[in-house]
Amino acid sequence: MKFTLQQLAGLLNGRVEGDDTKIVDKLGKIDETTLDQEGAVCFLANPKYESFIYQTKATAVIVSETFVPKHPISSNLIWVKDAYSAFTTLLEQYEAITKAQYFAKKIGIENPSFVSPKAQLGENIYVGAFAYIGENTKIGKNVKIYPQSYIGENVEIGDNSIIYAGVKIYQDCKIGQNCTLHAGVVIGAEGFGFAPQPDGSYKNIPQLGNVILEDNVNIGANTTIDRATIGATIIGKGTKIDNLVQVGHNVEIGKNTVIASQVGIAGSAKIGDNCMLGGQVGISGHISIANGSKFAGQSGLNNNITTPNKSWFGSPVLEYKEFLKSYVIFKQLPDLKKRVEDLEKKE
């Protein structure tokens, strides 16, 4: 990937301050000031990193229009409306180019692998060594299935989806178009359903449903999404789930929701569209969460959230601003306790 700064500015709808004929051919980090980054382009979006822009040896730095330099800068600048979004666009372009080059080579079925004669395979697919594709499975066009993946019976995988190494997709599950499942993902294992018996033992409840991932869903490494008891566990279009997340049976997650690592979602919970769940958020079963809800890391939910577009924190959760007010009081409790004890001694 080689661009002149003029070409790069055109791609990002920005303008160049400096030599627009300079060429960049790699992505850099603004805090790597000890490295020679000739030919690198980096970005400044977080004010915490501003000091590095005065030291960096990168050829170009992408900055927001709101940035006001406090000292001279030796690098060329590309001024854009929002530096973070612009750099994201650049990463997308870089990924598209490198993937196109890489995936062009990934066509065909490697041996040893097993593909059922009853499976339906689309054009230009790739099946890596030691993969398994079961009966009556339908694989769309341009799908990439990497080595040691297991695709069970009656599974459907839409066009252009990527199934990385070691993914397990159980029977009857449906994967939409343009989905990405990273290494170790398990889709459709049995949900955690056990009925307590009078003698204290537990009877297994059969899990007869499936999992449906709608289009443009990304699932991070070693995340597990359980099949429904009856019906479907559903992950909505455009939703992004991080590594090491547990999604229970019959959960429904709306469109364009983002979920960070180590979140646990218990069975039959319903999460709306455009929600954001920070790391280690815990959600109890059978509750509903309104569209646009945002939860800070380690929040715990055990009741419905009915008001949309609000931020929450704590366990059990409070509205974010209310939690901060309560926390101010909480920090004062040791001092208040001491004052009460001192008063008791005076009586």
Active site residue ranges: 249
* Long-range contact pairs involving 295-303 (C-beta distance under 8 Å, separation at least 24): 296/320, 297/260
Q: What does the block give as tokens for 140?
A: 């769309």
Please report how many Cα atoms fall inside a 13 Å half-sphere around the Cα of residue 38, on the Cβ side.
1
Distance of CA 25 to the CA centre of its chain: 27
Distance of CA 37 to the CA centre of its chain: 30
- C-alpha distances in angstroms, 278 versus 216, 295, 316? 21, 6, 15
Local structure of residue 336 (DSSP, 8 states)? H
Local structure of residue 48 (DSSP, 8 states)? G
| Residue 211 near residue 226, CB atoms below 8 Å | yes
| Residue 208 near residue 225, CB atoms below 8 Å | no
Q: What does the block give as tokens for 84?
A: 């973070």
* Long-range contact pairs involving 121-126 (C-beta distance under 8 Å, separation at least 24): 122/159
Q: What does the block give as tokens for 109?
A: 């079925």
DSSP-derived secondary structure for 229-261: SSSEEEE-TT-EE-SS-EE-TT-EE-TT-EE-T
Q: In what order do the strands lie in the sheet with 15-17?
A: 15-17, 76-80, 60-64, 40-44, 26-27
71 burial type by CB count under 10 A (0-12 exposed, 13-18 middle, 19+ buried): exposed
